[in-house]
Structure 1
Amino acid sequence: MTTDFPEPTRIPVNGVELEVFEAGRQNAGNPIVLCHGWPEHAFSWRYQVPALAAAGYHVIVVNQRGYGNSSRPAEVTDYDIEHLSGDLVALLDHYGYTDATFVGHDWGAFVVWGLTLLHPNRVNGVVALSVPYQERGETPWIEFMEAVLGADFYFVHFNRQPGVADAVFEENTFRFLRNLYRKNVPPAEPQPGNALINLARAGTPLGEPVMSDSELAVFVSAFESTGFTGGINWYRNLDRNWRLLADVDPIIRHPTLMIYGDRDTVARAGRLTEFVPNAEVVTLDCGHWIQQEKPTETTEAILKWLNQREADQQPRTQKIPSRAEL
C-alpha cells in the first residue's frame, strides 16, 4: 500500500478469510464498513478512511471474497448474495457489533443493498455510490439484460461465456486497469463485441487517469496475483441472487444516502424512494469512480449525512420552565 493506508489483517469469517484494513480503533462502538466494487480493492477508499476515523468512526475496510489477499473459493455459487452478505454479518460478529453503517461503491453497493434486505437488523444506515437499489422485477436480471442489451453486454457475456473475459483481462492486466480507470472520457461510437474486452486490448487510453501511477500499481499488483475470476463470479450469481431475494421485504426503510456521478454510465433508479423511502440523493460532477475522482466532495457528503443522522437521533429533551415563566 502507498500513503498512510492501514496495514491489513486476515480475519476468519463465514468459512473464508477476509483481508481487513482498520482505522480509528479508538472509536470502538461506532463502526462504519466500506465495501469496494469491481474491479476494485479496499485501497479505493484511501481518501475516506482517515477522515472517517478522525470524525469518530471505527473504520473497517474489507477486501471481499475473491479480492486481494482474501479467500477465493472455487465454486461460482460461493459468490452469491447470501455468501457475500454473510461475510459482512460474520465480520460484525467478529468485532462484537450488533450493527453498523455500510458504505458500498459499484458492486459493493449491490452487496450492501442485499445485506440490508437479508439482514436488516445488522444495518443502521446505508451509503451507496453509483449503483442504486435494483428493483427485482418479474424477469431474472441476466435474462432481462440479454433481451434488452444483447449477448455482448458484459454482464451477459460473463454469464454466457464463462472464462473468456477472465483470460483476456489476465493477459492484459495493466492495460485493462489503466484503460478502465479514466475520467473525462470523450463520447465515442460503440464498437462491436464486448466493450470491456475491447478496452483491455486497446493500446491507447482515453480521457485522463483517475489514479497516479503508484496508486494504479496497487490495483495492478493485486489483480496480477489473484486474476479476475473471483470478482467476475459475483456477476455470475445475478440470476441466482434474483431467486434468493424472491421472498424478502423489498422496502429498505433505513436512513440512506445515494451518491451519483452525473457522468456515470450506470443508470439512475427512476423509483428509488418508492423502495428506499428514507433516501437522500447527492450528485457529484464526476464519472463512475466517484470516491476516487471526487475524494474531498465524496467524503464531505458522507460526513454531512452522518452528522445530520446523528443529530436526528439525539434524544429530544423537554425544556423545564423557570419559575418566572410559570
Structure 2
Amino acid sequence: MKTIRVNSLASFPTPSLIAVNGIELEVFEAGQQNKGNPIVLCHGWPEHAFSWRHQIPALVAAGYHVIVPNQRGFGNSSCPAAVTEYDITHLTSDLVGLLDYFGYKDAVFVGHDWGANIVWALSLLHPSHVKGVIALALPYQLRGDKPWIELMEEFFGKDNYFVHFNRQPGVADAVLNKHTTQFLRNLFRKNEPIQPPVSGMLMINIAKNEQPLGEPIMSPNELSVFINAFEKTGFTSSINWYRNLDRNWHILAEVDPIILKPALMIYGDRDSIPKLESLKDFVPNVEIVSLDCGHWIQQEKPTETNQAIINWLELNNEPS
C-alpha cells in the first residue's frame, strides 16, 4: 500500500456544523458521498477529529467517504451542560443521526480509546446501522455484576482517574483547565521510560509535571489543534463521558452482549490498557492485530495502522 500522510494543517478537511439528535456536531469529511462506502472515525479522550489526520487520505484513496466528527463535548460540537447528556444512548444516537444526515443506512465505524467504547456500544444498541467495527486500543468491555466505577474503585482505589472523575467532580477539570498546554504536551508522548508508581491521580500528575517523559507524537503545530480546542471548551464536557459509566452499565442491562458484526481489534503492545483474552467469546468474528507502539496507535504508527485497516476492509467490507 502506498504511504499517504497529511503533512500540514492546511490539508485537513474544512468542517461543517451538522444538526443531529438535538445538537450540532462539527464534522470533517473527505471522499465522494453516496458511493456506498461510508466509514466513520470516532476519536477518544482527550482527543479531536484531527487525531485521524493520517488515516483520512489513505481511506479516501481506497474509495471511502470518510466522516470524522468531533463528538459531543469536543471541539466546536455542542457541549450540553447536563452530565446525563453524555451517556451511550446520546453518543450512539449522534452517530446514527450522522448516517441519516448523509443518507446512509449503515457504515463501518472506527473508534480509538473512548471512541472504541462508543463503537462497541453502537453495535449493541443499533446493530442494523453497523457494517463492521474497527477498534483501536480499547477492547470490548465486559459488563459484569457490579457497575464499572464501583468495580474500579474496589480494585484500583479512589485515585484511579475513572473513579476520581466520578467521585470528585470538578476537581480534575479545574487542574486540567489550568494546565491545558502542559497536560496535552505531556500526555501525547511515546516511548516513555518505565516509572515507579506515583501516588495521586494520574491525569492530575501528568498535568502538573513540568518535565515530559518520552518523545512527542506530533509537531507543535499539530498539538496546537488539540490545545486550542480544549482551551475553548475546557475539559468538563469531555470528562462527562466518564461520569456516565455506571449509567451506561444500567442501560446495557437487557442488551445481548454478543457482537456478531465483523470486527478488527488493533492493540498497541506498549499500551497500559490490557488485552482482553476472551475477546473472541464476545466478538466471534474479530481479527486481532498488535502493533509495536503505545496508546496513541493511529498517530504513533500511522502507516502500519492504515495498512491493517485497509487490508481488513478489503476482506470484510462490500460496498452497499
Q: TM-score, normalised by structure 2?
A: 0.96
Matched, 1:221 2:228: yes
Matched, 1:121 2:128: yes
Alignment match of 1:103 (pick from 93, 103, 110): 110
1:50-65 alignment runs, 5 A limit: 50-65=57-72
User: 1:17-52 CA distances to partner (integer Å, 9 max, x unpaired)?
Assistant: 000000002563210000000000000000000110
Matched, 1:168 2:175: yes
Instruction: Provide the secondary structure at the position in 2 that maps to 1:18.
Output: strand
Q: Distance in 1 between matches of 2:253 and 2:278?
A: 19
Instruction: State the Cα distance separating 1:205 from its structure 2 match.
Output: 0.1
1:142-291 alignment runs, 5 A limit: 142-291=149-298
Asked whether the equivalents of residues 261 and 286 of structure 1 are also in contact (C-alpha less than 8 Å), the reply is yes
Instruction: State the Cα distance separating 1:267 from its structure 2 match.
Output: 1.3
Map of 1:318 onto structure 2: none
Instruction: State the Cα distance separating 1:308 from its structure 2 match.
Output: 1.3
Asked whether the equivalents of residues 27 and 56 of structure 1 are also in contact (C-alpha less than 8 Å), the reply is no
Q: Percent identity?
A: 67
Query: Which amino acid in structure 2 is aligned with residue 273 of structure 1?
Result: K
Q: Distance in 2 between matches of 1:94 and 1:141?
A: 33
Instruction: State the Cα distance separating 1:268 from its structure 2 match.
Output: 1.1
Matched, 1:80 2:87: yes
Instruction: State the Cα distance separating 1:15 from its structure 2 match.
Output: 0.5
Asked whether the equivalents of residues 34 and 103 of structure 2 are also in contact (C-alpha less than 8 Å), the reply is no
Map of 1:136 onto structure 2: 143
Q: Distance in 1 between matches of 2:74 and 2:57?
A: 22
Alignment match of 2:27 (pick from 20, 25, 35): 20
Mark the structure with the bigger radius of gyration. Answer: 1
Q: Distance in 1 between matches of 2:21 and 2:115?
A: 18
Map of 1:70 onto structure 2: 77
Structure 2 unaligned residues grouped into runs of 5+:
1-7
Q: Distance in 1 between matches of 2:123 and 2:232?
A: 31
Query: Which amino acid in structure 2 is aligned with residue 56 of structure 1?
Result: G
Q: TM-score, normalised by structure 1?
A: 0.94
Asked whether the equivalents of residues 185 and 212 of structure 2 are also in contact (C-alpha less than 8 Å), the reply is yes
Map of 2:39 onto structure 1: 32
Instruction: Provide the secondary structure at the position in 2 that maps to 1:218.
Output: helix
Map of 2:11 onto structure 1: 4
Q: Distance in 1 between matches of 2:260 and 2:123?
A: 9
Instruction: Provide the secondary structure at the position in 2 that maps to 1:43.
Output: helix
- Alignment root-mean-square deviation, CA: 1.1
Q: Distance in 1 between matches of 2:159 and 2:223?
A: 27
Q: Distance in 1 between matches of 2:44 and 2:236?
A: 14
Instruction: State the Cα distance separating 1:162 from its structure 2 match.
Output: 0.2
Q: Distance in 2 between matches of 1:196 and 1:68?
A: 20
Asked whether the equivalents of residues 169 and 197 of structure 1 are also in contact (C-alpha less than 8 Å), the reply is yes
Q: Distance in 2 between matches of 1:304 and 1:151?
A: 42
Q: Distance in 2 between matches of 1:33 and 1:261?
A: 21
Asked whether the equivalents of residues 106 and 131 of structure 2 are also in contact (C-alpha less than 8 Å), the reply is yes
Asked whether the equivalents of residues 27 and 57 of structure 1 are also in contact (C-alpha less than 8 Å), the reply is no
User: 1:79-134 CA distances to partner (integer Å, 9 max, x unpaired)?
Assistant: 00000000000110111110000000000000000011000000000000000000
Query: Which amino acid in structure 2 is aligned with residue 25 of structure 1?
Result: Q
Q: Distance in 1 between matches of 2:253 and 2:218?
A: 39
Asked whether the equivalents of residues 125 and 255 of structure 2 are also in contact (C-alpha less than 8 Å), the reply is yes
Asked whether the equivalents of residues 81 and 241 of structure 1 are also in contact (C-alpha less than 8 Å), the reply is yes
Q: Distance in 1 between matches of 2:33 and 2:16?
A: 17
